[in-house]
Structure 1
Amino acid sequence: MTFCQPSLTQQSASVADPAAFILANTRHQAVPHAPEIGLWLADEVTPLWRLTEEALGELGVAPPFWAFAWAGGQGLARWLLDNPQEVAGRTVLDFAAGSGLVGIAAMKAGAAQCLCADIDPFCQAAIGLNAQANGVQLDFTADDLLQAAPPQVDVICAGDVFYEQPMSGRVLDWLRQADAQGSRVLVGDPMRTYFPRTGFALLAEYAVPTTRELEDQEIKRTRVWALSRDG
């Protein structure tokens, strides 16, 4: 869920063993809205955030998005599991992947290959651990994909990416470019402030359990959308 903050990637070398850090500070638990999937998740955001800053030797780093199952990702994962024909046999990109939840759902739904992309220095380890726990294989890149044309894949999945400006505009432009190249673009979003009001076709709506640690409600109304070429 982290993108376009290249300075963070340079700090990954200061974390001697990201996988050990994750295992020591999270616990394996089922995803509330997609219980077929288990992830290494934190119970509280603030203590882990502080530990992350200490591990990186830097204050003001991005929150540990990789340690939580965000509502948009949960909704999108649920939809992929219930509609496997959307990704079966296809190549998938899980953009701003965080924990890798959506990528795992895509592989469980029969995707041929899934590339998870996130620049957070802990994400590669988190996604590796979560993929192993779920018996799937995921590829990973820490490249800032917004700096180049979208990769040629069949499906791009993006959960919880419209949470701040002006980044939301850059992400939307990039996703539209991917759509124009022929990728099907799927988005999971719990009615964030900066989600575009036009250009998307509604696929599903869910009541997703979450936590006050992350959201303003314990049940978050979450929608899954497809970018519409008519929009």
Structure 2
Amino acid sequence: MEKNKKEHVVRIIKILEKDYGHVECALNFSSPFELLAATILSAQCTDERVNKVTKDLFKRYKNVEDYANADILELENYIKSAGFFRNKAKNIIKSAQMVINKYNGDVPQTMKELLELSGVARKTANVVLGSAFGKSEGIAVDTHVIRITNLLKLTEYDDPVKIEKDLMKTIPKKYWMNFSFLIQTLGRIICKARNPGHIVCPLNEICPSSQK
């Protein structure tokens, strides 16, 4: 059964790769800390909205020192449209200060160290590790991944940590980085929460939910 599940998930990945190729992170960034800040902003917010916010944000704050010394009210004003802006501003400033004080200004490159930063959970850490440093320590689980992996019956959980553990058992490590981006792309384009496009979905023949 486990072997069949692994074959099933690799088939899913191959189909999506045929349609979408190797998908890069949808968030715009030019440094590891910019990606960290953008990923913190992406909680409960679309990547499209985050990219609009960071267009001006990254012009104002050029480096980790700028964020560490930021006036919180000014930072809040820049990120207001991303939602939950007070907590996000506080987390970005605290993370910047910790990066400077503990890691000499360099964003850490391990899961354990990233999780110590303010506002960083495993999803954020996985995105930063994968897209900024090319490292795979896990699988980034966001709302698209939660919803679609349940539709595909790759997990029965709705808790991101439990889902990640399920997926890491099933998905070969060489696909960990690209898997989330492929699923997110499918979610944005076709498999939308309110109206999944089963008819045009490239996975419609093998997705249990499309057969209902």
Compute the TM-score of the two structures, normalised by the length of structure 2: 0.30
Compute the TM-score of the two structures, normalised by the length of structure 1: 0.28
Q: Tell me which protein shows more strand as a share of its residues.
A: 1
| Greater C-alpha radius of gyration | 2
